[in-house]
Amino acid sequence: MHIVLVEPEIPGNTGNIARLCAATGCELHLVKPLGFSIEDKYLKRAGLDYWNLVKVHVHETFNEIAALYQGHNFYFNTTKADKHHSDIAYQPEDLLVFGKETAGLPQELLHSYPDNCVRIPMVDDARSLNLSNAVAIVVYEAFRQQNFAGLR
pLDDT band for position 146 (cuts 50, 70, 90): very high
* 37-62 per-position pLDDT tens digit: 877 666 666 555 677 889 999 999 99
The total of structural domains in the chain comes to 1
Q: Is 128 annotated as a binding residue?
A: yes
Note the pLDDT of residue 11. 87
Range of the domain at 120: 2-145
Q: Is 99 annotated as a binding residue?
A: yes
- 105 falls within a domain: yes
- 53 falls within a domain: yes
Sign of CA dihedral 86, 92, 97, 101: positive
Give the pairing of strands 74-77 and 56-59.
Answer: unpaired
- 150 falls within a domain: no
- pTM for this structure? 0.94
- 152 falls within a domain: no
Query: Are residues 17 and 135 in contact, defined by beta-carbon separation less than 8 angstroms?
Result: yes
- 32 falls within a domain: yes
- 51 falls within a domain: yes
- The HSE-up count of residue 151 (CA atoms within 13 Å, CB side) is 18
* 99-143 per-position pLDDT tens digit: 999 999 999 999 999 999 999 999 989 989 999 999 999 999 999
- 95 falls within a domain: yes
Note the pLDDT of residue 43. 62
Note the pLDDT of residue 7. 97
CATH number of the structural domain spanning residue 49: 3.40.1280.10
Q: Is 120 annotated as a binding residue?
A: yes
* 74-92 per-position pLDDT tens digit: 999 999 999 999 999 999 9
